Amino acid sequence: MDVQKIIHEQVTSNPVVLYMKGTPQMPRCGFSSTAVQILQACGAREVLAVDVLADENIRQGIKQYANWPTIPQLYIKGEFIGGSDIMREMYESGELRQMLAEMA
């Protein structure tokens, strides 16, 4: 299957998807660690975490999918939200918590 189709399937069939380096239990970069901590602080429950280091095709493909050059990348209800800096801003403003609460 085409990597873009795989990514599309992941982001549209899961309520929250985080493409990151490593896993939530063992992030392999500071930005991914920050993203996981923010989601946990917001009480996000059903998060599909995709380790881009485990699949080079996904690692490159996700950058093309959102036209966003960096990882982590957060998707909520199929919509690209942003990376860890945007997540931090949205967390601090309460916007991210609100978006996730609306899904509960």
Share of the chain above pLDDT 70, in %: 99
Cβ neighbours of residue 52 closer than 8 Å, sequence gap 6 or more: 19, 20, 21, 58, 59, 62, 71
- Number of domains the chain is built from: 1
Feature table: binding site for [2Fe-2S] cluster: 29
Mind listing the pLDDT tens digit for each residue in 51-65? 999 999 999 999 999
Q: pLDDT-derived band of residue 8, with 50, 70 and 90 as boundaries?
A: very high
Report pLDDT digits (tens) over 91-103: 999 999 999 988 7
For 33, the domain range is 3-101
pTM exceeds 0.85, yes or no: yes
CATH number of the domain to which 75 belongs: 3.40.30.10
